[in-house]
Structure 1
Amino acid sequence: MMIHRLLVANRGEIARRIFRTCRALGIATVAVHTDPDRDLPHVTEADVAVRVESYLDAAGIVAAARRTGADAIHPGYGFLSENAGFARDVPAAGLIWIGPNPEAIEAMGDKIRAKELVARAGVPVLSGDRTFPLLIKAAAGGGGRGMRVVTDPQALGPALRAARAEAAAAFGDGAVFTEPYLPAARHVEVQVLGDAGGRIWILGDRDCSIQRRHQKIVEEAPAPGLPDAVRAALHRHASAAAEAVRYRSAGTVEFLVDRERIFFLEMNTRLQVEHPVTEAVTGLDLVAWQIAIAEGRRLPPAPPAMSGHAVEVRLYAEDPAAGFAPQTGRLRAFDFPAPGVRVDSGVEPGSAVGVHYDAMLAKVVAHGPDRDSAIRLLADALRRAAVHGVTTNLALLRAILADDDFAAGRVDTALLDRRLPAWTGAGTGHTIRKAALAAALGAAVTGAATAPVQARIPAAWRNVPSRERVRTYRCGATAYQVSYTSRGGRLESSWLPGVRVVRADADGRVVLDDHGVRETYRVSVAGGGADVRGPDGAYDFEAVPVFTDPAASVAAGSLLAPMPGLVVAVPVAVGDRVAAGDPVVVLEAMKMQQTLTAPGAGVVAGPIAAVGRQVAAGEVLAVITPPEAREPADAPESPGAVEPPGVPAPVAVTPVVEPSEAAPVAGRSSGIAAASGGVALDPSSGG
């Protein structure tokens, strides 16, 4: 049963990771892709590639395998990886299925049945009583979809309806169940590996407690600070769960750990997103073992010993300061130059990040002899990384690794919610101001060097030498009014007391002296802004124009799309009366749903973006007028575009700020509300 050509029924990062093992084993590779993914690296790196309508098109994927001469299919994680029907279809087509037996997938795929099954094997489970707070979960899937936390009994009915609808849309099954919500518990999981002969390996444990919206973003192995008795019990219960379904291949048993108490959550019958940390501490290639087991190979009597500690972070195209809204764009740079770290990515410089799939760009993994060493290595890798062109959670990840609670191993599933304001505000001080100054200086020198006319005029020259030139740059939600001038052909700035400009070169190098400490910045002018890489990290700065386009004005009460996405539901109609917080439009981007709600009581004024329409970030989706306001006589005909009533606002001119007054200013507030309601994550996003 030797495998010679393998098709990966997946995309992006996990497809590339599986291909890497295939190349090491001498196995030819087949990629599948949809139209939005046709230029991604996983397509170009495979030996051959086939277009499919969807990564959920089981029949199309099997046909692609037959057509390309593949003799095996690996599902990766998400999509069809836990689909028992697909696991049966693959062998029925004469192909080798790289994954667990369909019976195990079926038994563990229904979370209600899985709890009953493991409980009979002596594994402790959470009861389904109605003690508040409680958690509503989808019975047929995971990844955060169909999941709601309910703290108030009055909110239970609406939350159940929303969870059922979300679960039905995601998994084709609206069944949900409830369990007590333990916000101070830890999320700890155990990696298992089983062969066809019934031998089960326990390959240690992982802590995955740092989560946003029930989706992991930091994982580490082994789980820090567990008492020996708790760790031994976790391994024992994981083994019992795997043996209960005669588990074969790689899988993960997930638990909640509340001090000394342990509760079974679920079993993921597939490879986990966070499997690299287990590979780092065991020295195993779990994909290679999945292939070997599918070929009929048996596990040795005992697994290898664990060594050291590993930490992984997930890099997402999202804005943590804006409710983790997915972000799109084209990557101008994607570079992790630090040695000694593993980067599993689905993108490269130039890749387009769209709205169709999960927002994860990469996983960055560091392994060291102990936890402190691994964290230090990973933190350094994130500091040196340059990811430009798309807003990401990179700064948040750096803040997490620098946090005292995280460093001490004091983690639980609610830690991110408690610390988010501090973690997202970590880059708004002196450090980022120096980067903003470097951006302005680098842009000035580059602009002067490349000017098509008057190229001999010095950078930052002006005919009113008593005032410094002012340029405004925005990074995230904060704007910085940077002032600088040219004296004797040299750039100077009094914007930051104690910071002196040493040099600014046309090649993008800017050197600053901060109270006697010299720092070098690399600036790349890009479009209307500048990408800056400095000693404390990388930043994207957007240049704020001096003159504001009056066409950019929108009517008061407008609901704007917070991200590019697809309109999937509009529960209101023009003329309906709504109360503050009522849902108006539901958007989906990167398989995450976001509900836009009414900013206040009023009447829905047209037009409303139609269901099925793709909208751009910042586009007006609807307007809520106060109840006493008169509705406009004529609504604009262009769908999704609302002209502001009355006379356009006059052109706004950014005032020149005296150097002594120049300081970061708060991000402009439009007074436009876009509240987030229910959230659903892509079933392709894995565990």
Structure 2
Amino acid sequence: MFSKVLVANRGEIAVRVFRACEELGIRTVAVYSEADKHGGHVRYADEAYNIGPARAADSYLDQESILDAARKADVDAIHPGYGFLAENASFARRVEESEFVWIGPSADAMESLGEKTKARSAMQAADVPVVPGTTEPVESPAEVKEIADEYGYPVAIKAEGGGGGRGLKVVNSEDEVEEQLETAQREGEAYFDNASVYVEKYLEAPRHIEVQILADEHGNVRHLGERDCSLQRRHQKVIEEAPSPALSDELREQIGEAAKRGVDAVGYTNAGTVEFLVEDGSFYFMEVNTRIQVEHTVSEEITGVDIVKWQLRIAAGEELTFEQSDVKIEGHAIEFRINAENAANNFAPATGTLETYDPAGGIGVRIDDAVRQGDEIGGDYDSMIAKLIVAASDRDECLARSERALAEYDISGLQTIIPFHRLMLTDEAFINGEHTTKYLDEVLDKQRIADAVEQWGDGDRSEADNDDEEVTERQFTVEVNGKRFDVSLEERGAPPLPSGAGGASGRMQRPPQAKNESENTSAEYEGEGDTVTAEMQGTILSVAVAEGDEVSPGDVVCVLEAMKMENDVVTERGGTVTQVAIEEGDSVDMGDLLVVLE
């Protein structure tokens, strides 16, 4: 077994891997960007190394910086987590060719399955049903139109390296082809360093079913049952559960065996997920995620198998110690993604300080997170700050326990989607397991979401002052040659710390931070006219208007990327553009001026 492992990731997944390492007696190494100096994964690890600025391309996607940190720390192996470089075959190959062990599938398997067109071809060869579409990348609008003419609209344009809904664009008519193709290619390049896309027939109202697999280097392949990930907004999952409430026993067995057959055919090893779309009793291969999944937790809860520990053991050359017949599905589990988003505002990302952070607990409740009270939640990365996983003997008990747990979960200082989750536990379609991937975006009444946020959305309230509490110990962070160290300092008669800074003890406690008052560099406007301002912190991806343009209510003025999501910024009023205060690539804060209209 390894003696020291570096996790090339951040947040809760890094902490999840560290905990598995700790139980196996493995020392842990974190990497972090400037934005994550005080991140929970940094606080948890035995060692931590700075790898660059906040921008992911300059830190968590910087392969050389990560490998350099691994050499400095003298680790045995690298675990990629999910996202960032987790499905980057070139990085996996660089690790394989280095002195380190790659904790994941081989680079060859990632190339076969990680890029979607190759994966579709491999699955067809293994007699696994696939959605009708291309098995080669497309480059031009004409190619997309040709495929749409063959299968009919709508069609889906998908990034080859994509996942989590990113790089996926639905085309409903010929007029949309060019714009959606450009957007899918841009997202593929930005998120996965791969602008290549393919096209397939878009299923109208499917279930999203995925199968967790484990495969060792000795020819053994096992699956751990399926997960239902059908509740999604804009193709990104928000609630996942296992097993699926919608599959018959016969269909469940067919999908599980198809997943094993597909990965076995390409010599896959380590953990992975085979994703399917199910509609009208038929199932179609969608993609293979060649990594650990966000929702791996629910499979662990119903099987008792620690998937991350098995990732480590398999990478160390160990053989799976259980047969397929030993895998027993017991009970039911649901995962709720605790995202920093305002569900009433189309799930727009939210930022702020966790003035209160008091997670749920009790029997059957698991929290995977990397945050503590007093932490700043910025807009540089994904909006998920934690995961609430609830397990029980059956689905009915799991739903009831989830109601209790969500009511207990206390967060203030920024908005989260907890109110939305509480709404879903009163929703007839969700309770009956009848929802599809279209339910949230196209069926659920948005006013019900707004009402739920009004009823339960207390995320902006502030806690009472704790200024009377005497604090005698402070924690600071220093860096020496890029390596992070925590320093404790006792002060007698010291002034109190800000609220929340001393609210948690243990290895994930957050040291106080000073606010940089010069961070807001927005343009100012003192004249007359209607202004369009940023509703969130983020980066301007594109500007759609220029001075002198005439715009109508609802027109897009720019596209703002926040927490890895593209958001169209629209004007509520019509008029003439008299000032454009931003350019492509600019960083903006909430409330910053974007456009002025007269």
Contact kept in structure 2, 1:399 and 1:426, CA below 8 Å: no
In the superposition, relative to structure 1, how do residues 342 and 423 fare at CA in structure 2: closer, same or farther (>3 Å)?
farther
In the superposition, relative to structure 1, how do residues 96 and 420 fare at CA in structure 2: closer, same or farther (>3 Å)?
farther
| Shift of residue 616, structure 1, vs aligned partner | 1.9
Q: Name the structure 2 match of 1:610.
A: 583
Q: Name the structure 2 match of 1:653.
A: none
In the superposition, relative to structure 1, how do residues 589 and 432 fare at CA in structure 2: closer, same or farther (>3 Å)?
closer
| Shift of residue 323, structure 1, vs aligned partner | 1.5
Of residues 282, 302, 305, the one that matches 2:328 is 305
Moved more, 414-423 or 579-588: 579-588
Q: Name the structure 1 match of 2:446.
A: 421
SS of the aligned residue for 1:623 comes to strand
Of residues 523, 537, 554, the one that matches 1:564 is 537
SS of the aligned residue for 1:239 comes to helix
Aligned counterparts of 1:579 and 1:426: Cα–Cα separation in 2: 29
| Shift of residue 624, structure 1, vs aligned partner | 2.7
Q: Name the structure 2 match of 1:186.
A: 207
Alignment of 1:183-332 (within 5 A): 183-303=204-324, 304-332=327-355
In the superposition, relative to structure 1, how do residues 281 and 623 fare at CA in structure 2: closer, same or farther (>3 Å)?
same
| Shift of residue 355, structure 1, vs aligned partner | 1.1
SS of the aligned residue for 2:452 comes to coil
Which deviations, in whole Å up to 9, do the C-alpha atoms of 1:86-126 show, x marking residues without a partner?
A: 11111322111110011111111221121111011111111
Aligned counterparts of 1:36 and 1:275: Cα–Cα separation in 2: 27
Contact kept in structure 1, 2:340 and 2:383, CA below 8 Å: yes
- Residues 1:573 and 2:572 aligned together: no
Contact kept in structure 1, 2:102 and 2:315, CA below 8 Å: yes
Aligned counterparts of 2:382 and 2:526: Cα–Cα separation in 1: 32
Contact kept in structure 1, 2:111 and 2:118, CA below 8 Å: no
Unaligned runs of 5+ in 1: 451-525, 528-550, 626-687
Q: Name the structure 2 match of 1:96.
A: 101
- Residues 1:366 and 2:390 aligned together: yes
Q: Name the structure 2 match of 1:641.
A: none
Q: Name the structure 2 match of 1:539.
A: none
Q: Name the structure 2 match of 1:74.
A: 79
Aligned counterparts of 2:413 and 2:236: Cα–Cα separation in 1: 24
Which deviations, in whole Å up to 9, do the C-alpha atoms of 1:575-627 show, x marking residues without a partner?
A: 344455554222222122223245455432124223333222122201133xx
Aligned counterparts of 1:42 and 1:113: Cα–Cα separation in 2: 34
| Shift of residue 143, structure 1, vs aligned partner | 2.1
Letter in 2 for 1:136: I
Alignment of 1:619-658 (within 5 A): 619-625=592-598
Contact kept in structure 1, 2:273 and 2:293, CA below 8 Å: yes
| Shift of residue 558, structure 1, vs aligned partner | 2.0
Aligned counterparts of 2:456 and 2:256: Cα–Cα separation in 1: 45
Q: Name the structure 2 match of 1:338.
A: 361
Aligned counterparts of 2:334 and 2:130: Cα–Cα separation in 1: 28
| Shift of residue 378, structure 1, vs aligned partner | 1.7
| Shift of residue 363, structure 1, vs aligned partner | 0.6
| Shift of residue 287, structure 1, vs aligned partner | 0.7
Letter in 1 for 2:266: V
Letter in 1 for 2:21: C
In the superposition, relative to structure 1, how do residues 381 and 554 fare at CA in structure 2: closer, same or farther (>3 Å)?
farther
Moved more, 254-263 or 157-166: 157-166
In the superposition, relative to structure 1, how do residues 354 and 108 fare at CA in structure 2: closer, same or farther (>3 Å)?
same
Aligned counterparts of 1:272 and 1:353: Cα–Cα separation in 2: 22
Q: Name the structure 1 match of 2:160.
A: 139
Alignment of 1:461-610 (within 5 A): 555-578=528-551, 582-599=555-572, 602-610=575-583
In the superposition, relative to structure 1, how do residues 306 and 432 fare at CA in structure 2: closer, same or farther (>3 Å)?
closer
Contact kept in structure 2, 1:220 and 1:277, CA below 8 Å: yes
Aligned counterparts of 1:148 and 1:624: Cα–Cα separation in 2: 31
Q: Name the structure 1 match of 2:7.
A: 8
Of residues 413, 417, 421, the one that matches 1:393 is 417
Return the TM-score normalized by structure 2: 0.82
Moved more, 401-410 or 326-335: 401-410
In the superposition, relative to structure 1, how do residues 158 and 612 fare at CA in structure 2: closer, same or farther (>3 Å)?
closer
Letter in 1 for 2:120: K
What is the RMSD of the two structures over their aligned residues, measured on CA atoms?
A: 2.6
SS of the aligned residue for 2:425 comes to helix
Contact kept in structure 1, 2:556 and 2:568, CA below 8 Å: yes
| Shift of residue 173, structure 1, vs aligned partner | 2.7
Contact kept in structure 2, 1:598 and 1:624, CA below 8 Å: no
Count of residues in correspondence between the two structures? 519
Aligned counterparts of 2:541 and 2:418: Cα–Cα separation in 1: 29
Letter in 1 for 2:11: G
Aligned counterparts of 1:581 and 1:158: Cα–Cα separation in 2: 18
Contact kept in structure 1, 2:9 and 2:80, CA below 8 Å: yes
SS of the aligned residue for 1:281 comes to helix
SS of the aligned residue for 2:214 comes to strand
Letter in 2 for 1:316: N
Aligned counterparts of 1:157 and 1:583: Cα–Cα separation in 2: 17
Which deviations, in whole Å up to 9, do the C-alpha atoms of 1:258-314 show, x marking residues without a partner?
A: 021111100000000000000001101111101110111111351431211111010
SS of the aligned residue for 1:242 comes to helix
Aligned counterparts of 1:202 and 1:338: Cα–Cα separation in 2: 29
SS of the aligned residue for 1:81 comes to coil
Q: Name the structure 2 match of 1:114.
A: 119
- Residues 1:44 and 2:17 aligned together: no
Aligned counterparts of 2:337 and 2:540: Cα–Cα separation in 1: 27
Aligned counterparts of 2:343 and 2:527: Cα–Cα separation in 1: 25
Which deviations, in whole Å up to 9, do the C-alpha atoms of 1:628-670 show, x marking residues without a partner?
A: xxxxxxxxxxxxxxxxxxxxxxxxxxxxxxxxxxxxxxxxxxx
SS of the aligned residue for 1:284 comes to coil
| Shift of residue 553, structure 1, vs aligned partner | 9.0
Contact kept in structure 1, 2:420 and 2:452, CA below 8 Å: no
- Residues 1:85 and 2:58 aligned together: no
Identity %: 42
Contact kept in structure 2, 1:196 and 1:296, CA below 8 Å: yes
Return the index of the structure with the highest Cα Rg: 1
Aligned counterparts of 2:71 and 2:453: Cα–Cα separation in 1: 55
Aligned counterparts of 2:332 and 2:595: Cα–Cα separation in 1: 51
Contact kept in structure 1, 2:419 and 2:456, CA below 8 Å: no
Letter in 2 for 1:32: V
Contact kept in structure 1, 2:230 and 2:237, CA below 8 Å: yes
Which deviations, in whole Å up to 9, do the C-alpha atoms of 1:336-394 show, x marking residues without a partner?
A: 24312100012110110001100001010011111111121122111011011011111
Aligned counterparts of 2:219 and 2:249: Cα–Cα separation in 1: 27
Aligned counterparts of 1:77 and 1:345: Cα–Cα separation in 2: 15
In the superposition, relative to structure 1, how do residues 326 and 74 fare at CA in structure 2: closer, same or farther (>3 Å)?
same
Contact kept in structure 2, 1:338 and 1:380, CA below 8 Å: no
Letter in 2 for 1:354: G
Which deviations, in whole Å up to 9, do the C-alpha atoms of 1:125-176 show, x marking residues without a partner?
A: 1112422222221122222222122223322232222222322333333222
Q: Name the structure 2 match of 1:378.
A: 402
Which deviations, in whole Å up to 9, do the C-alpha atoms of 1:429-466 show, x marking residues without a partner?
A: 8x669x99xx99x99xx99x99xxxxxxxxxxxxxxxx
Contact kept in structure 1, 2:343 and 2:450, CA below 8 Å: no
SS of the aligned residue for 1:141 comes to strand
In the superposition, relative to structure 1, how do residues 381 and 432 fare at CA in structure 2: closer, same or farther (>3 Å)?
closer
Which deviations, in whole Å up to 9, do the C-alpha atoms of 1:218-241 show, x marking residues without a partner?
A: 111111131122111111210121
Aligned counterparts of 1:145 and 1:250: Cα–Cα separation in 2: 22
Aligned counterparts of 1:553 and 1:411: Cα–Cα separation in 2: 49
In the superposition, relative to structure 1, how do residues 219 and 428 fare at CA in structure 2: closer, same or farther (>3 Å)?
closer
Letter in 1 for 2:129: P
Aligned counterparts of 2:193 and 2:450: Cα–Cα separation in 1: 40
